[in-house]
Amino acid sequence: MAIIDYFDRGCRIAPDSDYLIFGERRITYREAQRFSYRVANGLLALGCRKGTHAAVWASNDAVGWLCTLSIWRAGLTWVPINPRNSAEENGYILDAFDCEVLFFQQRFSEVVASLRPKLPKVRQYICMDGEGEGALSLDRWMAGKPDLPPVVEYALEDVCCLQPTGGTTGKPKGVMNTHRAIQTLVASWLAAMPYPAGQRPVNLAAAPLTHASGIMTLVTAVRAGAVVILPRLEPEPLLDAIEKYRITELYLPPTVIYVLLDLPGVNQRDYSSLRYFIYAAAPMSTEKLRRAIKTFGPVMMQGYGQTEAPGTISYLAPEEHFVNGEIAPDSRLSSCGRPYPLVRCAILDSENRPLPDGDVGEICVAGDILMKGYYKDPQKTAETIIDGWLHTGDVGFFDREGYLHITDRKKDMIITGGYNVFSAEVEGVVNSHPAVRDCAVIGVPDDKWGEAVKAVVELNAGSAVTAEEIIALCKQRLGSVKAPKSVDFVDKLPRNSAGKLSKRELRVKYLEG
């Protein structure tokens, strides 16, 4: 199936039912389908062809998601743009990923206009909610376009999503995910999240639609369910929405769940409609997971995946959070569940040989869920997919019951608030300050963020800079997510015998502290 087919199935089942709910606005499946016909026909009239790259730069928004559907309807490849990224990073993505069409919200018109001289490949700018500098309004651009289904042929190996991801060099790579991979994702999630016959889910899209929350709506649409979109991830409105719309499923990173658990009156809310409360993107404290189960009910579900194996490596189902009617011990809750039925998962040693249960090695994945490769980077693709196995860079083991445990990460990555941050990228910015001789960026445990980005800095002799100045520099260049939450200054950074920085010593120091 093509990625747009999941939405169309929902439309066939319940064309006049709500598909998107955004504030006071409700959009039915039929209305959304006709919108996607018109925009897709407009894209094809521009000369776009199957595989042309198109991006949407927007916060969580109903029209923004409809534009994404329209990109798929036309057979184009969607490039999600995180609005929380710095302008510099998003500009790099648009250019390096060869985007030709950009839909954007008016609130981003100024920054988009500033980037235009650096984006010679973008040939059409479309402002979704008004007039943008040098751009057509979406309403004007759509005028006169037929609301008839365009004729587009799809192949399972066609790339439908080109997802940016961080890289150790500091530049995002493009993960090419195909219709086949998304088909495997949807089938896996349908198997993992059953509903009684005839019940339609109500999904709460509170996390960014540019990430797992957006792809999750495809699974909702297959069942002709409704998607409630929140423009911002705010704790109180999120809990209000669960009660008001009788939400049955949602996904949040653990850091947001921690905030919810500390809200006054959180235990007095009505969560009886919930069936699946998915937590993913970062490790979750077992103590807080227990609190979440007691607060929200027996509905917590963990997911483990990667952009390169989109959202679908293993899961811990709600019922697996219990043993003999009691909340499971930490040895179960600290796992990331068992592999999905359509995914092969193995622990391999340094020679790519499988290891027995209990032995620690690299977590590797095979099957139709795998990415096609990294965009324009065959060397990195070959280093990552070896003999059909995707090397995740995560280190772990299987226990005797078949539950997967992650113990460490080979790649120098920090997961903070559900976002991946590569230390080399942050180090490059910190080291650019004239007062800095060298620095090491690591992740340290944090109750709110799961991991917090910390910079440990060695200054040039006679130079001075404050922690606030370094943090401000990183926010300017990288955005707030990747900026350090704290900066420590040391006389000498620890180094090994070869003169290389020893981050292991730093991690031991701060973990013990």
pLDDT, tens only, 81-99 = 999 888 999 999 999 999 9
Bridge partner list, 434: none
**Count of C-beta atoms within a 10 Å radius of residue 236:** 12
The pair phi, psi for residue 507, each rounded to 5°, is -65, -45
Dihedral of the alpha carbons of 398, 446, 494, 406, in degrees to the nearest 10: 10
Are the C-beta atoms of residues 430 and 495 closer than 8 Å to each other? no
Query: So what's the architecture of 3-233 in CATH?
Result: 3-Layer(aba) Sandwich (3.40)
Question: Please, is 39 exposed, middle or buried when counting C-beta atoms within 10 Å of its C-beta (0-12, 13-18, 19+)?
Answer: buried
Residue-level pLDDT at 180: 98
Q: How many CB atoms lie within 10 A of CB 159?
A: 22
By percentage, how much of the chain surpasses pLDDT 90? 78
Q: Is the pLDDT of residue 183 over 50?
A: yes
SS3 424: helix
Residue 78 reports pLDDT greater than 90 = yes
Q: Which has more pLDDT, 231 or 424?
A: 231
- What percent of the chain has a predicted confidence (pLDDT) above 70? 97
CA–CA gap between residue 48 and residue 41 (Å, rounded): 10
Q: What angle do CA 321, 323, 327 make, to 5 degrees?
A: 55
What's the mean pLDDT when you consider all of the chain?
Answer: 92
Structure confidence at residue 72 (pLDDT): 98
For residue 232, what are its two tokens? Answer: 């911002």
pLDDT band at 25 (very low <50, low <70, confident <90, very high): very high
Which own/partner contact pairs does 11-19 have at CB distance under 8 Å and 24+ positions apart? 11/224, 13/223, 13/224, 14/200, 14/224, 17/200, 17/224, 17/226, 18/226, 19/221, 19/226, 19/227
Q: How confident is the model at residue 498 (pLDDT cuts 50, 70, 90)?
A: very low
Tally Cβ neighbours within 10 Å of residue 504: 11
More confident residue, 311 or 281: 311
First to last CA, the chain: 52
Residues 6+ apart with CB under 8 A from 6: 186, 218, 219, 221, 222
Higher per-residue pLDDT: 131 or 192: 192
List alpha helices for 116-227, DSSP H: 138-142, 179-192, 212-222
Pick the more confident residue, 298 or 253.
298
Note whether 76 and 99 are within 8 A (CB): no
Confidence of residue 150 (pLDDT cuts 50, 70, 90): very high
pLDDT at residue 414 greater than cutoff 90: no
Question: pLDDT band at 170, cuts 50/70/90?
Answer: low
| Span of 41-45, 357-361, 430-434 with lowest mean pLDDT | 430-434
Neighbours of 232 (CB within 10 A): 9
- pLDDT, tens digit, 9 for 90 and up, residues 204-238: 999 999 988 999 999 999 999 999 999 999 999 99
Answer with the residue of higher pLDDT: 158 or 503: 158
**What is the C-alpha separation between 478 and 282, in angstroms, rounded?**
20
- Is residue 425 scored above 80 in pLDDT? no
Indicate if the pLDDT at residue 163 is higher than 80.
Answer: yes
Measured CA to CA, the distance from residue 247 to residue 51 in angstroms comes to: 35
Q: Residue 155 above 60 pLDDT?
A: yes
Looking at the chain, how many residues does it have? 513
Please give the pLDDT value at position 169: 42
Task: Note the pLDDT tens digit of each residue in 293-337.
Answer: 999 999 999 999 999 999 899 999 999 999 999 999 999 999 999
Position 421 pLDDT exceeds 90: no
Report residue 364 as tokens: 């590797």
Express each pLDDT in 331-374 by its tens digit: 999 999 999 999 999 999 999 999 999 998 999 999 999 999 99
d(CA 94, CA 78): 11
Per DSSP, what are the bridge partners of residue 203?
227, 249
Residue 495 has pLDDT above 80, yes or no: no
If pLDDT is split at 50, 70 and 90, which confidence band does 284 have? confident
- Please classify residue 398 by burial: count the beta carbons closer than 10 Å to its beta carbon, then call 0-12 exposed, 13-18 middle and 19+ buried: buried
- Confidence class of residue 260 from pLDDT cuts 50, 70 and 90? very high
**413-512: in CATH 3.30.300.30:** yes
pLDDT at 168: 36
> What per-residue confidence (pLDDT) applies to 312?
94
Across the range 141-153, mean pLDDT stands at 94
Question: Cα-flanking dihedrals φ and ψ of residue 512, to 5°?
Answer: -65, -30
Asked whether the predicted pLDDT for residue 182 surpasses 70, the reply is yes
The 3-state DSSP composition of the chain as helix, strand, coil percent (nearest 5) reads: 35, 30, 35
SS3 letters across 200-255: CCEEEECCCCCCHHHHHHHHHHHCCCEEEECCCCCHHHHHHHHHHHCCCEEEECHH
- C-alpha span between 147 and 143 (Å, rounded): 11
Arithmetic mean of pLDDT, 151-168: 87
394 CB-near residues (< 8 Å, 6+ apart): 362, 363, 406, 408, 409, 410
- The rounded distance, in Å, linking the Cα atoms of 81 and 31 is 25
**Average pLDDT of the segment spanning 258-278:** 95
Domain positions in the chain are 3-233, 413-512
Q: What is the DSSP letter of 266?
A: G
pLDDT, average across residues 70-76: 98
Helix (H, G, I), strand (E, B) or coil at 134: coil
